[in-house]
Structure 1
Amino acid sequence: MTTLPTAAADLLSEVRAFRTRYPEVRHVDLLSLDIPGHFYGKRYPIDMLEKVAAGSPLKLPQNCALLGVQGGLFPISDYCFNDGDPDALRRLIPGTLKPVNWERQPLGQMLISSDGTAAPIEFEPREVLARVLQRLERRGIRPVVAFELEFYLFARALKEGLPQFPHDPSSDDPDDQPNLHIERLSRFSDVLHDMVETANTQGVDANVITAELGPGQFEINFGHCDDGLRAADWAALFCRSTRGVARKHGLRASFMSKPYLQAPGSGMHVHVSLYDQAGNNLLAADQQRPLRHAVAGCLALLPHCMPIFAANHNAFRRYGAMVNAASRASWGFEDRDACIRIPDSDAGNLRIEHRLAGADANPYLVLAAILCGMEHGLQAGQEPIAPLNEDRASGVDFPKDMLAAVTAMRAHPAVNEGLGDEFVMVYCENKRQDHLAFMQEVSAREYRWFL
C-alpha cells in the first residue's frame, strides 16, 4: 500500500470532502492570476482533480502568467516566441477548493500556483510575493495584512459603449445616488449581501460594506490576516466572485480605477503591520522609530513601483483628481489625502495604510511592493519627510504616465533586488507593450480635435 506524503494526503482529503458535500459538482476551475490581474487556468473534471491531489503532475504553459491585458502575448526577451512556450508545474493551493454559486451550472474553483514547486516561475505574481514573504520570515518578520477594495456597480447594458448608473429598484430617478448614505446600502442590499456571503463561501473574510462617494460606488473590507499570500488570495478571489454575483443580479461590477472623470476613482487600500516571532508589533518599538523608517522606505520606492500601483493607462487618471487620491508621495496621521496613512490605533495594532494602488492592480504585486518598501526603510534607517499634518505641501513626485513609470521602475536597484531582476524586466516590458498596444487606435476625440 502506497502512503502519500502528508501534504498530498491532506489535499486528497480536501477534494474528497468537497465531492461528498457537493455531489452535483462535476468540474472545477483551476485558477491562477496573471501579470495584469486576470485569472487563467483550466476546467478539470473533478475525478481528475483527485489524481492531481494525489500527486499527478499539473502543468500549464509557463507564459500564461505574462499575458497582456487583452490576453495576447508580447515578445519579451526569449519568452513567448523563442522559448518553445514550455509547460511549467503548478500546485494546488490547500484550503481554496470552494463552490461557485454565480454560474448556471454547479461548479467548483481552486487556486493554483507555481510557488512551492521545484521550479517556480520567477515572474508569476504569487511567486513574487512568496519570495518577499520568505525573505522577511528569515529576518523574523511576520506581516499582518488587510485589504480594502472599492468598486462600482453599473447597469448591465452599456450606452454607446459607456457605463451607466445602476438602476435603483426603489427609485425612478437614475441620478438618485446618495453619496456615503446608509440608505444606498439598503437600496442595493440584495446584490451587496450576496457578494459578501459568496465571498465568505469562498473562504474570504469579507465583512464591512460602505457606500462610497461615487454613484454606484462601494467598498468592502477584509479581515486582518497573518498570512500575506492568503490575504492577497482573498483580494483576487473577491474580484472574481463580485463580478460573477453582479452578473447574476443583472448588473456589472468593475474595479476599474477611474470609470468616471467627474467622480472619485476606486482604490485598493492595504493595511500592513509587522510582528516579530513573539507577537510584538515591530513598528511600535523605540517610540515608533521603525514605523517612521518603514514609511520612509515606502516613500523612497513608491515612485519606482508606479507600474504596479497604477497598472494601466486609466489608473493614472485617478491621481490628484477629486478627493483622497494623492498626486505626490506623502504620509500623515489619520489623513486620507496621504498615500501612506497611519490610522489611529494602540501600539499592538500600529500599522500603515497604503492608499495609492488602483482597485484593478494585482494584489500580489501591490503587497510585494509595499513590503519591499517597508523592508528597505527598516534596513536604511532614515527618517521620512514631514507628514501632511505638519506641512500640507510635503511630498515626493512620482511618474504620471506608464512609459515614465516603467523607466523609473526598470533601473532602480532596490526594486530589482527586492522583487527580482527577472520579474522587473518582464513586468516593465509587459506594461510598456500593453501601453503601446492601447495607443494603436484612433479615438473619436482625435477626429474632433484634428480632422
Structure 2
Amino acid sequence: MKSHAATLLAEVRTFRQNHPDVRYVDLIALDIPGHFYGKRYPVDMLEKVAAGSPLKLPQNAVLLGAQGGLFKIGDYCFHDGDPDANRRLVPGTLKPVSWEAQPLGQMLITSDGTEAPIEFEPREVLAKVLERLHRKGIHPVVAFELEFYLFDKKLSDGLPQFARDPLSDDADDQPNLHIERLSRFAPVLDDMVETAKAQGIDITVITAELGPGQFEINFGHLDDGLRAADWAALFCRSTRGVALKHGYRASFMAKPYLQHPGSGMHVHVSLYDAAGNNLLAAHQQQPLRHAVAGCLELLPHCMPIFSPNHNAFRRLGGTVNAATRACWGYEDRDACVRIPESDPRNLRIEHRLASADANPYLVLAAILVGLEQGLEAAKEPIAPLNEDRNSGTDFPLEMLEAVRAMQHQPALREGLGAEFVDVYCENKRQDHLAFQQEIHAREYRWYL
C-alpha cells in the first residue's frame, strides 16, 4: 500500500504529465468568511511539498474579514507575532483551471491532519465533528444544493445589472422557472457544469430558479462530508471564473434584489451505521424526530453561520421559501428543516436556512452537531408545519443579537470547539461593526 507522500507525489507527477503547459498551481483554502486564500506555487516546487517538504502559511490568514482585513481577536493577529502554521495537500484535488487566461492548476490545502491543526479553520472544525460522529458509529451522507445569480459583467454605479439574454440581447429581468431559460443560457451553464466536473465535482440537476438570472445546481450525495463541502466551495470558485469568461458576473450573494428571491444553500443529510442502515428510519422514524428536535433547538444559536453577513439576514422572511422561525415539515419548502418524501433507505433531512454565501464547512458542521445533540437528547420536536402553520421558535434576525446567542451556547461550544466559537463570533462582530462604518447616500436623503 502506498504511503501518503507516495500517493501525493504520484498525483502531482501524473498531473504534470497530463498538463505539461501548466507552470503554476494555486494552493487554496477557505477562510472564515468563505473566501479562498493561498499561494501560487511553481509546479516543480509542488513536487517537493508532495514528497514531504513543509508547506506553511500564516495562521491568521484564516481570520481575515470579508474585505480581507485583520481584526484583533484575543491574542491573535496583533499580539502573537503572526506565526506560520503547517498545511497539507488534500489528495485528489489537484485539477486544471480552465477559466484563467494562462494554463493553471489548483489544489486544496488544509491544516486538518497536521501535527497542530488550526482550531478555527473551517475545514478542521468539520473534520473534528465528522471524526467524533464516526467514533459513535454515525456516518453521514451529504449533498449540497446552491442557488446563484447571473448578472451582466459590468456594474451600473456599483449596482448589479440583469444578465443579458444571449438570444435577444435583452435583459433577463422576468422572474420565472421556465425550462427555456436553461436553453438560452446554455453556453455559460454548460461550461460551468463541465468545468465543475473537471474539478471532480458530481453535478446532477440544474434548475432555472424564480429570480431573474437565478439558477440552482445540485450535487451528488457523498459519504464523505469533507469532500461534499469541498465540492460546494470549489464550485463557487470555478463558477465565478467561468461566468466572467462568458461576459457575466456570477454571485452567491444572499439577497441581491429586495424584490426577488434570495439565494440559499440547501443541505441534504442522512445518517447511517457501519452496516449501511439508515439510523433516521429506525423505530418508526423516531430518531428522525429526535434529530429534527436537535436541529431546531440549536438553530437560533447558529445564525451567524447560516447568515454570515448583513445582507444574508435580508433573505430571511423573503418572497419565497425563507422562514423567519425555526420550524420543520414534511415536503414543506417553507420550513427551515424539510423532510423530503423518500423510501426508508434514503430518509433524510433537508436543511434550507443557510444563505448561498455561507461557509459550507461550517454550515455542515453546525447541522451535524444539531443532529448529534438531538439523537442523544431524544426529545420530541415541536409540531410540524403540516399540523400547525404557526409552529416554530424565534431566532435572531440581526448579526449582533445572533453573535450573543451563539457565543455562550454550551452544546455549540462543545460540538464545534470553544476556541472556534469565540474566534468566529468575534470575527463576525468586528466585520459587522466595520460594515457600519460608512455613511450611505440614503442617510443623507433621510437626515441631512
Q: TM-score, normalised by structure 2?
A: 0.99
Residue aligning to 2:113: 116
Quote the Cα distance in structure 1 between the aligned partners of 2:195 and 2:259.
31
Q: Does 1:294 align with 2:319?
A: no
Q: Which SS does the other structure have where 1:274 is aligned? A: strand
Q: Does 1:319 align with 2:283?
A: no
Q: Does 1:64 align with 2:88?
A: no
From 44, 49, 73, the counterpart of 2:46:
49
Residue aligning to 2:356: 359
From 194, 204, 209, the counterpart of 1:207:
204
Q: Which SS does the other structure have where 2:319 is aligned? A: coil
From 90, 98, 101, the counterpart of 1:93:
90
Moved more, 199-208 or 347-356: 199-208
C-alpha change, 1:178 and 1:438, in structure 2 (3 Å) is closer
From 347, 363, 367, the counterpart of 2:344:
347
- In the TM superposition, what whole-angstrom CA distance separates every residue of 1:224-251 from its partner, at most 9, and x where no partner exists? 0000000000000000000000000011
CA contact (8 A) 2:272 2:278 kept: yes
- In the TM superposition, what whole-angstrom CA distance separates every residue of 1:162-185 from its partner, at most 9, and x where no partner exists? 101000011243255351100000
Residue aligning to 2:240: 243
Unmatched tracts of structure 1, length 5 or more: none
Residue aligning to 1:450: 447
C-alpha change, 1:69 and 1:351, in structure 2 (3 Å) is same
Tell me the amino acid that sits aligned with residue 43 of structure 2. Answer: I
Q: Does 1:160 align with 2:161?
A: no
Q: Does 1:440 align with 2:437?
A: yes
User: Alpha-carbon deviation of 1:89?
Assistant: 0.3
- In the TM superposition, what whole-angstrom CA distance separates every residue of 1:359-379 from its partner, at most 9, and x where no partner exists? 000000000000000000001
Quote the Cα distance in structure 2 between the aligned partners of 1:61 and 1:361.
23
Quote the Cα distance in structure 2 between the aligned partners of 1:365 and 1:251.
29
Residue aligning to 2:307: 310
CA contact (8 A) 1:178 1:184 kept: no
From 260, 269, 285, the counterpart of 1:263:
260
Q: Does 1:370 align with 2:353?
A: no
Residue aligning to 1:385: 382
CA contact (8 A) 1:36 1:69 kept: yes
Residue aligning to 1:400: 397
Quote the Cα distance in structure 1 between the aligned partners of 2:169 and 2:87.
50
From 37, 61, 78, the counterpart of 1:81:
78
Quote the Cα distance in structure 2 between the aligned partners of 1:353 and 1:40.
30
Residue aligning to 2:249: 252
Tell me the amino acid that sits aligned with residue 208 of structure 1. Answer: V
Unmatched tracts of structure 2, length 5 or more: none
Q: Which SS does the other structure have where 1:288 is aligned? A: helix
Q: Which SS does the other structure have where 1:400 is aligned? A: coil
Runs of 4+ residues deviating >6 angstroms: none
CA contact (8 A) 1:196 1:207 kept: no
CA contact (8 A) 1:177 1:184 kept: no
Residue aligning to 1:414: 411
Quote the Cα distance in structure 1 between the aligned partners of 2:229 and 2:106.
17
From 187, 190, 199, the counterpart of 2:187:
190
Q: Which SS does the other structure have where 2:394 is aligned? A: coil
User: Alpha-carbon deviation of 1:206?
Assistant: 1.5
CA contact (8 A) 2:173 2:213 kept: no
Q: CA RMSD in A?
A: 0.9
User: Alpha-carbon deviation of 1:5?
Assistant: 6.8
Quote the Cα distance in structure 2 between the aligned partners of 1:206 and 1:423.
31
Quote the Cα distance in structure 1 between the aligned partners of 2:401 and 2:190.
41
Residue aligning to 2:332: 335
CA contact (8 A) 2:307 2:313 kept: yes
Q: Which SS does the other structure have where 1:94 is aligned? A: coil
From 95, 102, 105, the counterpart of 1:105:
102
Residue aligning to 1:144: 141
Tell me the amino acid that sits aligned with residue 155 of structure 1. Answer: D
- In the TM superposition, what whole-angstrom CA distance separates every residue of 1:319-361 from its partner, at most 9, and x where no partner exists? 1110100010100000000000000000000000000000000
CA contact (8 A) 1:331 1:387 kept: yes
Quote the Cα distance in structure 2 between the aligned partners of 1:263 and 1:332.
24
- In the TM superposition, what whole-angstrom CA distance separates every residue of 1:38-80 from its partner, at most 9, and x where no partner exists? 0000000000000000000000000001110000000000000
Quote the Cα distance in structure 2 between the aligned partners of 1:329 and 1:235.
24
CA contact (8 A) 1:416 1:424 kept: yes
Q: Which SS does the other structure have where 2:142 is aligned? A: strand
Q: Does 1:230 align with 2:230?
A: no
Quote the Cα distance in structure 2 between the aligned partners of 1:37 and 1:231.
15
Residue aligning to 1:30: 27
Q: Which SS does the other structure have where 1:17 is aligned? A: helix
CA contact (8 A) 2:163 2:172 kept: no
* Count of residue correspondences: 448
User: Alpha-carbon deviation of 1:425?
Assistant: 0.2
Quote the Cα distance in structure 2 between the aligned partners of 1:353 and 1:103.
35
Quote the Cα distance in structure 2 between the aligned partners of 1:398 and 1:110.
38
CA contact (8 A) 1:153 1:252 kept: yes
- In the TM superposition, what whole-angstrom CA distance separates every residue of 1:268-308 from its partner, at most 9, and x where no partner exists? 00000000000000000000000000000000000000000
